[in-house]
Amino acid sequence: MAPSVTIEWERDLRFTATNERNVSMIMDATDAEGRPAGITPMELLLMALGGCTGIDVVLILKKQRQKLERLTLNVTGRRREEEPRYYEQIHVEYVFKGSGLDEKKLQRAIQLSEEKYCSISVMLKNRAKITSSYRIEK
């Protein structure tokens, strides 16, 4: 069966999204002061991209026997000014920390995720220019 989610309108511009395992999160456009009270759908898209490529990279590095201690992904997007305001550009910064990490293996893991394994990246790249960078923290 195909994955599915349920989106329930709560009030104003707030919705609760629930998956088949009954895990929920709040999505919102704005609160009374004009700020999002939850995660906006466009932020969620960036989070999904980061989570997708992050999972790939961790799995690939594990297979390569790299001793990864921490991976942080900073994902930023620039949206079009006119409607529809989709992301024109997205940048993913991978920040690695670990002992004896092989830089070539990190680069290869990122490349494999971006070009082959991350379904979200593949879907988005037809609309947005997706770039990436990485750094290794000591």
Give the list of residues 6+ apart from residue 102 with CB closer than 8 angstroms, or none: 64, 66
Contact call for residues 114 and 106 (beta carbons, < 8 A): no
pLDDT (tens, 9 = 90+) of the chain, 138 residues, equals: 678 999 999 988 889 999 999 999 999 987 667 777 789 999 999 999 999 999 999 999 999 999 999 999 999 999 999 999 999 999 999 999 999 999 999 999 999 999 999 999 999 999 999 999 999 998
Q: Which pLDDT does position 31 carry in this prediction?
A: 67
Helices (H), 1-138: 41-63, 103-112, 119-124
